[in-house]
Structures are given as C-alpha cells and as structure tokens.
Homo-oligomer: A and B are copies of this chain.
C-alpha cells in the first residue's frame, strides 16, 4: 500500500488563501500540468479528503473526481445521496483508515487537503510527496505542512520544470 500527496503550493508553502481561494494557483494551469495530473490520477485507486475539501468540491457544477473518494471527518453526518456511489464518509484515525482501505483492496491512495495531509504526516503515514511550486509568494493562507514530532527524511526522485516557472519535485519517504 502506498499513500501519495500530490499538491500545488505557493513558493511560501500555502495550498490556498485563508478563505480557500486558489486564484493564484489556477492561473498557472496549463496543458503540461493537466497531463501530469492525469498521469498521476491513473496510478491511484482511491482518494482521501477532509471536510474542508469536500465542502468545497460539493459546490462545483460537477463532481470532480474519477476515483473512489473517502471523506475523512468526525463532524460530517452524511453525504448527499446523489454522490453516494462516488464518496464514502469515514470517521477514523489515519492508520485505521489505511487498514480499512487495504482490506477493501485499495493500494494507491491519494491523500489530499491541508488538514488531512498534516494528520497523515504527523503519524508518518505518507510514502510519497509530489509538490508543484508556483513562482509566487502569497504571504498568508492555508499551509501545506504543519507541526511534526520528529524529522521525516525523504529521497528526491525527480524534478520537472514546466513553462510558466512551475517546479514539480517528487520525493519518497526514506524509512
């Protein structure tokens, strides 16, 4: 089983503004970025997001995810019936959720959303980090990373440079 973070950040490490806005990020969307994202999605088989991400994407005109989504939340009570086949609400700790997903036959898990990523990293449950940095400082917002009890060492796998100055680096956890 493999857990992977695939995320875009500002140069100063934010994944969104305080209000969730990603205007500064989407302006860098281009064909290369889309291709990279779809290549990545093709190698995962489930996705874990938190309440914050869920409440954002549920507002979109269309459900944006192709793969099975697990919404990790202890406060959400239910998920709208219309997306019952696409998303499942789970109220578990990260380690228990991974056991549950493994039992269900999932093996490549995309972990997304600031708080979810941080809670997985805090328990050293992320195997791979793929971070695309846009060449911009936004000064404040929702940070990608949070407090950790210990250092986590990674191995650099590859770095790609895209037009518009995006730098995508892929790292694997060194255990």
Contact = CB atoms under 8 A, between A and B. Distances in A.
Interface stretch (A44-52, A60-68, A108-116, A151-159): A151-159
A136 B154 CA distance: 6
A140 interface: yes
Interface stretch (A35-43, A80-88, A97-105, A164-172): A164-172
A139 B147 contact: yes
Residue of A137, A153, A169 with highest tally of chain B CB at under 10 A: A137
Contacts of A12: 13, 144-145, 148
Copies of this chain, count: 2
B151 A135 contact: no
A161 interface: yes
Nearest to A138: B151
A120 interface: no
B152 A147 contact: no
A16 interface: no
A156 B156 CA distance: 20
A129 interface: yes
